Amino acid sequence: QVTLRESGPALVKPTQTLTLTCTFSGFSLTTSGMCVSWIRQPPGKALEWVARVDWDGDKYYNASLKARLTISKDTSKYQVVLTMTNMDPEDTATYYCARNIIAPSDGDFVGYFDYWGPGTRVTVSS
């Protein structure tokens, strides 16, 4: 049974650094084809992909946020950590982590998000 759960502060001040942790179970990030992405959703707005880390260590970032982001994995803890620096009120959103499963042996390096965490709400305010 695959599960993911996000954790982190509910409130951060502008200019601070946000650290979010995705703790997952039911799969390993050492298995070929397993990836985890972060996706966020501002209140009342659309989904926005933030970052992805793959089983082989490859990392991808939203180009508009890349300078502020770091994604990392701790395979022994079954965790993926996202840090975002210089937080702004426009970063207020629900942050989701999701498993992104791909099939590199079939030439599929994109895949799809099959399992999502419930999300964690982050408010940026002084």
Closer Cβ to other proteins, 62 or 92, answer by number: 62
Residues in 2-31 at the binding interface with other proteins, rule: CB under 8 A: none
Residues in 27-66 at the binding interface with other proteins, rule: CB under 8 A: 37, 39, 46-49, 52, 60-63
Q: How far is the CB of 74 from other proteins (least distance, A)?
A: 23
Q: How far is the CB of 122 from other proteins (least distance, A)?
A: 15
User: What's the CA angle centered on 23, arms 17 and 29, to 5 degrees?
Assistant: 105
Between the alpha carbon of residue 79 and those of residues 83, 89, 122, the distances in Å are 13, 27, 19
Q: How far is the CB of 78 from other proteins (least distance, A)?
A: 19
Closer Cβ to other proteins, 87 or 97, answer by number: 97
Q: How far is the CB of 3 from other proteins (least distance, A)?
A: 12
Residues in 67-126 at the binding interface with other proteins, rule: CB under 8 A: 96, 110, 112-119
Residue ranges in contact with other proteins by CB under 8 A: 37, 39, 46-49, 52, 60-63, 96, 110, 112-119
